[in-house]
Structure 1
Amino acid sequence: MPMLVALDYASVFIFAITGALVASRAQLDVVGFVFVAALTATGGGTLRDVLLNRDMVFWIADPTYIAVAGIAAIIVFFTAHRLESRYAGIVWFDALALAVAVPAGVGVARAMGMDWPIVLIMGIATGCFGGLMRDVVCNEVPLVLKQGELYVTCALAGAVAAVTCQAFGLNGAAPLLVCALTTFALRAGSITLGWRLPVYKGFPPRQ
């Protein structure tokens, strides 16, 4: 459990940074920064905990998570202007947050004894929904839905890697580490090397 708590804290802090960076692009005030950062930081984990019917949603059980998100937001409020490209910062911090949040979701589902399909879904939900909420609220094109770009695919691949490791007898932190590395490697490849999935190209709609 300490490993899962550490993953949740890391996910909250890094996703909060991305939320605050998006808030800076929208030129919000400091309260707006904290709101968007907290929404981004807790969105995926909240959905995970509600769907899994945990005793309490993680940030309600321990409000320190909200404080961590708030601190990240305030730091970014005073330092975002130093970044040469805030969008590049969002993309790379988001990739790192995804690589932490997916194993957090996988680990919680595993700890609750869920079957592998649920473990996969919880990994994807924890990794993707906070960023999706952030982008929708701030009227940005969601990174999750950018044409052909690997994002949900990275979360799915990371979760599959963790489940596969467990199937071969690896337990403890090892499957979660493999999950994190797989998720980040694929996302980084998409960002730097242009890895894409094929997109649907249909006929123009009839008038």
Structure 2
Amino acid sequence: MLQTITSYLDWFGVCVFAVTGALVASRKQMDIVGFALMGSVTGIGGGTIRDVLLGLTPVFWVQKPSYLITCISVSVATFLVAGFMQSRYRYLLWFDAVGLALFAVTGASTALQHGAGATIAIAMGVATATFGGIIRDIMGGESPVILSREIYITAALLGAGVYVSLVVIGTSQDAAIVAGFICGFGLRSAALMWQLSLPRYRPATDRNPE
């Protein structure tokens, strides 16, 4: 049952990420092809990098073109209603948080299933959850998500780390998935609500003298 729910949420995450990519295209006033490109890069970019780094070829969306078709379809739909969705972008960030937490867990799970060690699995979880957004921002000429003051990548790291740690100590797969998702989503949600961020480096010249 949980695997079925996770599968549905995986598709949900792809759709949400595709929408966020398409909305960047709307802010840059791209044509419908630009929407499709930005949406696809965001929706499947992280998983593509994961598969390439793990040597899993052909990558997942080549084996299942329905992922690419979904990204293109969602992007085209967003092209038609971008004005409505852009005004509600803040709400979309909450759906993005769901995708972030879920992809962190499923990305780590995929790595473990193909023989990766714990450290690499966690790294692949983070890559799956965040690299699509990073590529989107670079292509769209926007400040990359890794430079955001709010906690983002750290939430993916927490979710993937909790999941892998529980699997390593022998916790059931279902329990590990739930725990990893809750931790990743919980941290990202807290960051959205209270603008949480990690301490940042300040040059010595900016610090108050003692």
Structure 1 and Structure 2 fold alike (TM over 0.5): yes
- Deviations 1:26-73, CA, capped at 9 Å, x for gaps: 111111110100011111101100011113200111111110001111
How many residues align? The count is 204
Q: 1:112-123 alignment to 2 at 5 Å?
A: 112-123=114-125
Partner SS for 2:116: coil
| 2:77 aligned residue | 75
Tell me the CA shift for residue 4 of structure 1.
7.2
Q: 2:6, 2:92 → 1: CA distance?
A: 24
Conserved? CA contact 2:35–2:75, under 8 Å:
yes
| 1:64 aligned residue | 66
Where structure 1 has 5 or more consecutive residues not aligned to the other structure, the ranges are: none
Q: 1:3, 1:58 → 2: CA distance?
A: 19
Residues 95 and 4 (structure 1), Cα distance of their counterparts in 2 relative to 1, 3 Å cut: closer
Q: 1:119-158 alignment to 2 at 5 Å?
A: 119-147=121-149, 149-158=150-159
| 1:166 aligned residue | 167
Which letter maps to 1:103?
A: V
- Deviations 1:143-172, CA, capped at 9 Å, x for gaps: 22213x211110111011102221342222
Q: 1:120, 1:161 → 2: CA distance?
A: 9
| 2:178 aligned residue | 177
Residues 52 and 8 (structure 1), Cα distance of their counterparts in 2 relative to 1, 3 Å cut: farther
Give the alignment partner of residue 87 of structure 2, picking from 71, 85, 88: 85
| 1:34 aligned residue | 36
Tell me the CA shift for residue 139 of structure 1.
0.9
Q: 2:108, 2:53 → 1: CA distance?
A: 13
Q: 2:115, 2:146 → 1: CA distance?
A: 28
TM-score when normalising by structure 2? 0.88
Residues 112 and 136 (structure 1), Cα distance of their counterparts in 2 relative to 1, 3 Å cut: same
Q: 1:136, 1:78 → 2: CA distance?
A: 24
TM-score when normalising by structure 1? 0.89
Tell me the CA shift for residue 177 of structure 1.
2.1
Partner SS for 1:78: helix
Partner SS for 1:83: helix
Where structure 2 has 5 or more consecutive residues not aligned to the other structure, the ranges are: none
